[in-house]
Amino acid sequence: MIGAIAGDIIGAPYERHNITAETGWPLFDAGARSRFTDDTVLTVATADAILTGADYGAKYREWYLRYPDRGFGPRFRRWAGSNRDEPYGSLGNGSAMRVSPVAWASDTLEAVLREARRSAEVTHNHPEGIKGAQAVAAAVFLARKRSPKDEIRAFVEGTFGYRLDIGLHALRARHQPDATCPGSVPQALTAFLVSEGWEDAVRKAVSLGGDSDTVASMAGAMAEAFYGGVPPQIRDEALGRLDEPLLRVVRAFCRAVGLPLGEGGG
C-alpha cells in the first residue's frame, strides 16, 4: 500500500511530461509537482472500506468528494458526483491502481481474487477492468508470500493472458499514452519483474511513459511486497506529503496488517 502511494507521488510529475530514462532524475520534486493524485486517494479509500467493512463504491465516492481536484478521470467524476450506484463499464486502470490493500488484507489467493473483483466492479465492471485489478492484487499477494518472480509471471500470464515477455526497450518504443488496464497493467508488471529493487522498479515504470503515476503506483505496490518494503527514506518522504485524513487511514491499515510505518507515518 505504501509502495503504491510512493510510486504515485514519484510518477506524478512525469504523467504529462514523459521521460524514457531510468536514472538521472529526482524521485521527488522540491515543489508541488510531486504530490499525491487520485491513485493514492482511491488506494486509501480501498483500505478504509476494508477497515470499516463499508461498501467500496460508497468509500470511493466519499474520498473523491474530499479530493476532487486530484486528477480523476471524467467518467469516474461523473459517477462519483451523481446519485447513481450503477457501474459504468470501464476498462480503465482505475480499478488496478487502487487495489493493493486487498492483497494485504486477504489470507488466500482465492480470497484476493474475489475481493479484487468486488472492489473493481462497483465502477469498472468491464471484464478487462476486473482482470486488471485481479492481476495486480494477485501479483502483490504472491510477492508478499515470497513467491519467486518466475512463478508470479507464470501465474499472471496463465490466468489473465497478459504478455510479460516484451522487454522495456520494446515497450518504450511502441508505447502510447494508455490509461486502460490492458495498456498499463502489463507495463507495470514488466517493470516490477525485471527490477532489482523497489526504487529500480519505480524508475523503470516511470521510464515507460504514458500514465506514469499509475504505472509507477502499481509497480511500487508489487515491489513493496516482493522486496520487503519501501526504502525508509523514500517511504518517509512520500508519507510526509500526505495530509492527516489520508495518514490516519494509512496508519490504521498498516497497523492492522503489520506493515511498517516509519517516521513519516507517525
Give tens-digit pLDDT for 85-143. 899 999 999 999 999 999 999 999 999 999 999 999 999 999 999 999 999 999 999 99
How would residue 175 be classed by pLDDT, with cut points 50, 70 and 90?
A: low
pLDDT above 70 (res 245): yes
Average pLDDT over residues 240-259: 95
pLDDT above 60 (res 265): no
Average pLDDT over residues 62-90: 94
Average pLDDT over residues 11-20: 89
What are the chain's domains?
A: 2-265 (1.10.4080.10)
Decide if 190 contacts 171 (C-beta within 8 A): yes
Residue 210 has a pLDDT of 87
Give tens-digit pLDDT for 46-62. 999 999 999 999 999 99
Least confident of 15-24, 195-204, 230-239: 15-24
Mean pLDDT, the chain, rounded, equals 94
pLDDT above 50 (res 266): no
